[in-house]
Each structure stands twice: as structure tokens, then as C-alpha cells.
Structure 1
Amino acid sequence: MKLTELTLTELRTALRQGETSSVAATEAMLDRIVAADNNLQSYLTLTDEMALEQAKAADERLANGERTPLLGVPVAVKDIICTHGVPTTAGSKILEGFVPPYDAFVVQQLKAAGAVILGKTNTDEFAMGSSTENSAYVTTHNPWDTERVPGGSSGGSAAAVAAGLAYAALGTDTGGSVRQPASFCGLVGLRPTYGRISRWGVIAFASTLDQVGTFGRTVADTTALFQAIAGHDPNDSTSLDVPVPDFEASLTGDIKGLRVGVPKEYFIEGIDVEVETAVRTAIAKLEELGAEIVEISLPHTSYALPVYYLIAPAEASANLARYDGIRFGPRVTGSDMIDSVKKTRALFGPEVKRRVMLGTYALSAGYYDEYYGRALKVRTLIKQDFLNVFEQVDVIATPTTPTTAFKIGENVDDPLSMYLQDIFTLPVNLSASCGLSVPCGFDKKGLPIGLQLIGNALQEATILNAAYAYEQAVKS
């Protein structure tokens, strides 16, 4: 039994049955990180000493018969999520050296579930990007082809799990930042309903769009991690005070009678032919398993991209105003206060500056109603499209991305091409629905392709079970 090749659920079973120990699994994972991560750059900070202490404590608890959900399982955390005593940079030089004095809610949940935290993974700066090339520190490489991107902004987490450098990992998804890297790296990536997981302690990008998500090698792995961190948090005013069902028990694989909608607006000019073929083949497999396929329309889909790139930058502009060298961030001394703030904010990278300027313009006097106000109205139309469709179907099936992973540097000087990578994922964030990406094949270059399954608000169990049914049916 090669420990690093086990899935999360396989390791959990082995730990509970006494076939291995958390210390052994953690040491194997840390050794593999040391051996392989120089080529991938998935981690920004490795917490090896803390991880081994947590693993030793987990083994003692296992020996005493404890069975918390992730007891002894090594996982990774995106470096935009605060961790007590561990640097949290958000991939930015403006937070270099920041060590939070507290754990984010999701990290508290991980620790309560008994997980072992291996370290903090790379991210596009402040989660703004689709390739992890915008990190101020390193560019993460895709384990399937190291000349290509792993996706973003949670590319570090995706690369780590795909390369066997963590059993699962946390990411965040503001416009597709879990699902797109999951697709590029051949993983299952879940973006839950807005408010299902607390954002307390997560460094904000766009507050009405951000949501913590989970990566796993299988649907069961992704579900187990999600199960452990979901729940109400009174510290987050947007946290939903609703019961958390047993998501793991919902993975029955039975989808007979499930109504699956296929929106015509998602199979558009510009989508890679191999991607479309793989996704349509996957939808046909769902039909073989007993699902009913229904052609649907989401008529305002074409407005989602411009709406997103007005709302998200506007919220980013407001959220990042605090990084002025006085309240947050290092202070770069200038000739006066204004000069000091200018020089401090010059530490932001080009993509963050671009989005802050776009957002500030959209919010400025004379343009607020014309841009931001109008975008909010169209967002309502997009959300209504989804609500209307979910009266007809249970799940929506689409491609996760229009292409497979592109080469590092290919789109870095073309922001519009980069933004188009999220064209199929960001409507989920605008509509406050839930969505996931599950692997559905490979292109001729051997790169993974993802099938996106979208559910109505709080219907994670439905999309997880549909993904599980598909995964089990095509399992080799």
C-alpha cells in the first residue's frame, strides 16, 4: 500500500482500521512534497512541524477510539484563508509576513474534524486570476503538463491534490476558482451555495461572490471535506443558518428520474471541439444511468461576463481599500501621507491594480448608476433565469471550461482571453447557486476535461450524487 496514492476516504478507512498511522501518512506526504514540489510550486508555506504534531495527536485519538470525520488525514489550505500562527499572504507582497492571530472558521472546522494541515497553497494575488500566474511569489505548474497552468485562482490547491501532495484541499471560488482548476487538473471541485460555508477569516475579494470550496481526487473525497467544514457561523452575517445534511450518505449513485438540463447558450462558438464532445458524451452517460435530458435556455448568459467584471472589481475596490500601509500591509514611507499610501499600494500586482481601477471607476460619481447599478439589475435577471430553469430540472450540465489547460504565459498579456476562461463558471456565483466540476475525459494532448453540474441553492447533495453516479459508471 503506497500511502500517497490512497484517496482521502481510503486513507480514512485504513486509519480507522489500524492499517497505517497518521504520522506515517503525513511523513509520506511531506517526503513527496519535498521531492516533487520544486517542479510544481503548489505550496507557499509548508507547516511540516505542526503537521507532524497534529498527526501524532491524531494517532493517540485514533488509538483511544475517536472517530471524527477527518481524523489524521493530511490536507492543504489555500493561502487566502487565515491560519493561526502560519503566514497568510493571499499571494500578495502587500501581505508578506502577515501571520494571523486566529484561524478562519473553515480551519477551525478542519481542526475540529481532526485533519492534519500540511501547509498553505499558492494563489493568484487576492484570488484575482484564472491561472495562478498572478501570484506575487511563484507560478504554479500543472502536474499533467508542467508547461501549462493549473488554473486559478486556487491553482496551488488543485496542483497539490492532483500531484498527490495532499489528500484534499480547500480553495475559494469567486467566479470559478475551484471548478476551473479542478477541470484543468482532473479533480472534483465543489463550489457550494453562497453562505453554506462561512467566509469568516477568508481574505475578501468580492464579498457577494466569494465562497470556500473543496478539492478531492474523487467525489467521495470532495464530499467528505465539504461535510467537515459546512455549517452556520454567527461571526459571518451571510452564513446560512440551515441544517447540514449527511452529504456522504447522499452518495447513492441512483439518478433514475433525475432531470438534467442542457443549456444551449453553453455550447457556443469558440468552445474546443474535444471539450464539447467529451461533455456531450458524459451527458449521454447520465441519460444511460436513468436521467432525463432536457434542453433548456438561460437567455441572459451572454451578459454574465460583463456583469461579473463590473460587480467583482467594484467589490474588490472597496475591500482592498484597507491596504494602505496604515491599517493593513507594510508601510512604504513617502514625502507625505498621500505619497506613502501611493507607494504602499504600488506593492499590488498588475492584475489587482487593473481590477481595483475598474471597480473604482464603476463606483465613481456619475458612473455608479450607469455601470455598477445596471450590473446589479442584470445580475437579478441572470439569477431569475436559473430560478426559472430549476422549476423544470434538478441539475444543469455544461462544460466547466471552454478549453483544456493553456500554456504558461499564453494569455498573460491578454486579460480578455484570461477572463473568458471563466465564462461557464461565473454565472453560478452571480446566481448564488452551487456547482461542481467532475472529470469527464481527456483531449488528444492528454489534458483533463471537466463536466460542470449546477444545482439550485442548497442542493449540493443532488449534484454530488449525480457526479458520483457518473464517476462510478465510467470508473476503469
Structure 2
Amino acid sequence: MMSDLFFLDISTLSKLIQTKKISPVELTKQVLQRIERYNPTVNAYINVLAEDACQQAEVLERELMEQGVRGPLHGVPIAVKDILETKGHETTAGSKVMENWIPDRDATVVRKLKEAGAILIGKANLHEFAMGATTENPHYGVCRNPWDLERVPGGSSGGSAVAVATGLCYGAIGTDTAGSIRLPAAICGITGMKPTYGRVSRNGCLPFSWSLDHIGPMTRTVKDSAILLEAITGFDPLDSATVSQADDVMWDQALPDLKGIRLAVVRKHFFDDLEPEVEWLVEQAMRDMQALGAEIAEIELPGLDEALQALKVIAQSEVLAFHEPILNKYKDWYGEDLKYRFSFGQSISAVQYLNAQRTRSKFSQELREKLKGFDGLLAPANAKRPFLIGTVPPDQAIGNMFTLGRTPFGNITGLPALTLPCGFMSGNLPVGMQIIGRPFEERRIFQIAEVYERSQNWVAKLAENETYLVR
């Protein structure tokens, strides 16, 4: 089946490109044709870079014939969230405010992808300025869930998730301030990694919150996420938060099972108010991991509620600091839900902000002590089925990330957090599970997740989904 081509994992696709069984030029044309056919239904892309992508493919194909491959991303079509600067192409941030802005440089992540040989196929749709959990964009159109077209795909990296889930690219880059990689990944049935704070440069990404923003990969498989993260990781003098040294992401040998792996579970917050089907599926995934050899122990995290409240204070203060000069001139151009966010930010005092940062620091230090002796922490990713489009009023949107997901914990702590599929609830809607690790131990999380992924068949479900094909 031709559709099988669009759901290949990156490792398999790379081998086909390297052995010249698939041409980067022909592959890019096929993906562009698929985008032309299905993007009008799901609205995953704001801007498809067809001409530029074909030119990139021609250059990379000549290079393949004359010099060989740069690495596993050579000739592979990849999407990036349209909040990352792309030289010579509009970067809208999903907002009317930025609709005509054409940067004169690439974001560091985009530059690294190009250097790795990836083909930039398009700019993915997002919640306006990455400030929401639904990707109901009032300026560039609603992005639709590929499993139920009347529901949201999650946000803010909804377009990136949908593009990956529907075979409109082989991987995508998203951003994550309170779960904007992991929530849409979980809701759309794919894998998403929010790396450790400081592993990936944010240079060239329009900020939401300097203290909480992360950039990371969204893919169909665990190994694909590792390949993408390896390509974009590293110190950048243009982002002072990046670290000069961190352990490599890739691994030489897969774990045969989970024997010797210790995983923690925190019931408070993570398992509060879960939809029963979500809770059952996550519990079943944990039982499956125990059957694979993992030891799972329950722990408590005092101060968690206060830390999550601190995240809200920090995020809304910092986003207002960035937007305030623009707000003075273009307030009416923003979506209604963003206006409520800015109103909340304006009510926060400097004392409250500084106390929130102190709360964050104290909790993160205590957490690292709690996680000693554990390889990771297990938690649900999405808490319930996604909203029907248009059902949440703007004044309630600020709480959507906490209502729909259990992801903000990873941002207030800066810890690496991976979500991967763990089943489907009624209505054929995906559910995701998080594995949260210790700082800069992404490789360990990937290895653990890969063992679980091998034992399941959730990845294959993406190619079988026909919901968005019939509209």
C-alpha cells in the first residue's frame, strides 16, 4: 500500500534513502501530494513550503549520490511549529500580529535540522502564540483531531501532532511550556519528548515563558524522537540557559526488558479527576511494565500543589512581559482567550513572581532528592477525552492544560518528560502515558519507553486510522 510509505519510522526510511531505494525528491513530492489531499481536512499546516522543500530535496539527492548521507535525517521531510523562525518564510506564531513577519535567520533548532539533512516541509498550525491547549486558532483556522474531526487535537503544538499522526511528515518540532508537546502528542496517539531545560536552544523561538519554555521532538516512535532530539540538542551561546555538556541521547543497545528498572508513581494530582477509562488504561500500562520486569513504587511529593500554582504565576507574568509592548498597539488583534491571560498577568505583583520562583527552586531541589534511586516517574499525559471544538469559552481557556492534561509538572521542574501511547478509550480516542526522568537522562527514558513500545501495537494504529480520509 502507498500509505505504508507515509507511516514508516525514520530509521527504516533512512535505510531506504541510503540504499537509494527511495529518492528524496520523489519522497518529498509524495508527501506534498498527501498534504495537498488531507491538510484541508485537518488543517495541520499554516504554511506548506512546497517549492523550498523540493529545492532542498534536489540538493540533498545530489549530495547523496556524490558524497553519501549526513545522518539518519538526510532527505527526511520534517515539520516545525510556526513559532520558530525560518529564514525567508513567514513566522506567524499563529497570530494576526505576526502574519507578515519574514525573519532573516533560522532558529537554532531549524538550522540544526537543515544541517542534519532534514527537509523542512512546512510550518505547523498552533494555538495563538503557543498560549493554549486546544489549537483552536481564530486567525488560521481550527486544527482538527484526526481521530474525531469534531474534537480538538490538544495544544499548543496541535498542528505538529496532527501532521505526524496523519503521515503528513515523518517528525515535527513542537514547544512545551506546560505540556504543549506532550498533551497533543497523547491526544493524537504519537510520541512527544519535552527534554531537560537547557538541553535544546530556544534561540529563534518566540517566547511564552523564558523560565518554562522547552523545544522538543514529536514523532510516531520512541526511536524517532531520539533521532530528532539528537539532531537539535547542544549548547548555544545565543541561549544562556543551554548547558555546555550533557549525556548523549542515542544508545547502542536496546534494553531486553525492564528488569532492574525502578519507577515511581505519585497519586496526588496526577491521578485526581481522571476520566475512568484513562485511569484504567494508564493502570494497565503500569501493570504491563511490571510484567516486563519493572519495579513500581508509590511516593508522595509534598508541595506539589504550590509548585503548580507557581507555574501559573511565572508563566503569565513572563508572557505579559514579552507582549506588553505589542499589546499597547495591537490589543484588538489578539484572540479572546489571550486577552484573558494578559488580564491575569497584569494582576500579578513582583513579590508574587519572585516568591513563585523561590517555590519552584525549592520544590525542584526536594524533588531531585525524592527521585534518587528511581529511573523515572510514571504518570498519565491526558486526563480525559479532548473537548469538542468550540465548547470552551475564552475565560476558561487558561485552565485547559490542567483540565485536559497532567503535564505542567515537567515544566516547573525542568525534568525530561516523554509521552507515548498506552491505549484507546471509547470513541477510538488515544491515551498517553508519561515517563518523567532525572535531569539530562533522556536516553534512559527512551530506553525504558522503547521496551514498553515493543510490547504493544499502538504505533500501527496510526496507519489504520481512516477518520480523516472520508471527509
Q: In the alignment, which of 345, 356, 377 is matched to residue 359 of structure 1?
A: 345
1:175-324 equivalent positions in 2, closer than 5 A: 175-249=178-252, 251-323=254-326
Does residue 394 (structure 1) correspond to residue 375 (structure 2)? The answer is yes
| Separation in structure 1 between the aligned mates of residue 232 and residue 123 of structure 2, nearest angstrom | 17
| Separation in structure 1 between the aligned mates of residue 162 and residue 226 of structure 2, nearest angstrom | 19
Query: 2:465 — aligned with what?
Result: none
Q: How far 1:66 moved relative to its partner? A: 2.0
Distance 1:234 1:106, change over 3 A: same
1:92-135 Cα deviation digits (max 9, x unpaired): 11111100000000001000000001110111111000010145
| Separation in structure 2 between the aligned mates of residue 361 and residue 317 of structure 1, nearest angstrom | 11
| Separation in structure 2 between the aligned mates of residue 82 and residue 417 of structure 1, nearest angstrom | 28
| Separation in structure 1 between the aligned mates of residue 256 and residue 69 of structure 2, nearest angstrom | 25
For 2:69, the aligned partner's letter is: R
For 2:117, the aligned partner's letter is: G
Query: 1:379 — aligned with what?
Result: 360
Does residue 428 (structure 1) correspond to residue 410 (structure 2)? The answer is yes
Distance 1:460 1:208, change over 3 A: same
Q: Residue 128 of structure 1 contacts residue 352 of structure 1 at CA under 8 Å; is this kept in 2?
A: yes
| Same amino acid, percent of matched pairs | 38
Q: In the alignment, which of 433, 436, 440 is matched to residue 422 of structure 2?
A: 440
Gaps of 5+ in 2: 461-471
| Separation in structure 2 between the aligned mates of residue 185 and residue 9 of structure 1, nearest angstrom | 22
1:3-402 equivalent positions in 2, closer than 5 A: 3-69=5-71, 70-249=73-252, 251-323=254-326, 341-342=328-329, 344-362=330-348, 367-369=349-351, 371-402=352-383
Query: 2:467 — aligned with what?
Result: none
For 2:74, the aligned partner's letter is: L
For 1:312, the aligned partner's letter is: A
Q: Residue 300 of structure 1 contacts residue 381 of structure 1 at CA under 8 Å; is this kept in 2?
A: no
Q: How far 1:285 moved relative to its partner? A: 1.3
1:417-449 Cα deviation digits (max 9, x unpaired): 524236521111001111010000000111000
- Secondary structure of the corresponding residue to residue 294 of structure 1: strand
CA RMSD of aligned residues (A): 1.7
Query: 1:335 — aligned with what?
Result: none
Q: How far 1:385 moved relative to its partner? A: 4.0
For 1:418, the aligned partner's letter is: N
Distance 1:96 1:222, change over 3 A: same
| Separation in structure 2 between the aligned mates of residue 422 and residue 447 of structure 1, nearest angstrom | 13
For 1:354, the aligned partner's letter is: Y
For 2:335, the aligned partner's letter is: G
Q: How far 1:264 moved relative to its partner? A: 1.6
Q: Residue 191 of structure 1 contacts residue 213 of structure 1 at CA under 8 Å; is this kept in 2?
A: yes
Number of corresponding residues = 454
Q: In the alignment, which of 437, 444, 461 is matched to residue 462 of structure 1?
A: 444
- Secondary structure of the corresponding residue to residue 102 of structure 1: coil
Query: 1:450 — aligned with what?
Result: 432
Q: How far 1:180 moved relative to its partner? A: 0.3
Bigger Cα displacement from structure 2, 304-313 vs 186-195: 304-313
- Secondary structure of the corresponding residue to residue 13 of structure 1: helix
Q: Residue 174 of structure 1 contacts residue 206 of structure 1 at CA under 8 Å; is this kept in 2?
A: yes
- TM-score, normalised to structure 1, is 0.92
Q: Residue 49 of structure 2 contacts residue 122 of structure 2 at CA under 8 Å; is this kept in 1?
A: yes
Q: Residue 122 of structure 1 contacts residue 135 of structure 1 at CA under 8 Å; is this kept in 2?
A: no
- TM-score, normalised to structure 2, is 0.93
Bigger Cα displacement from structure 2, 415-424 vs 135-144: 415-424
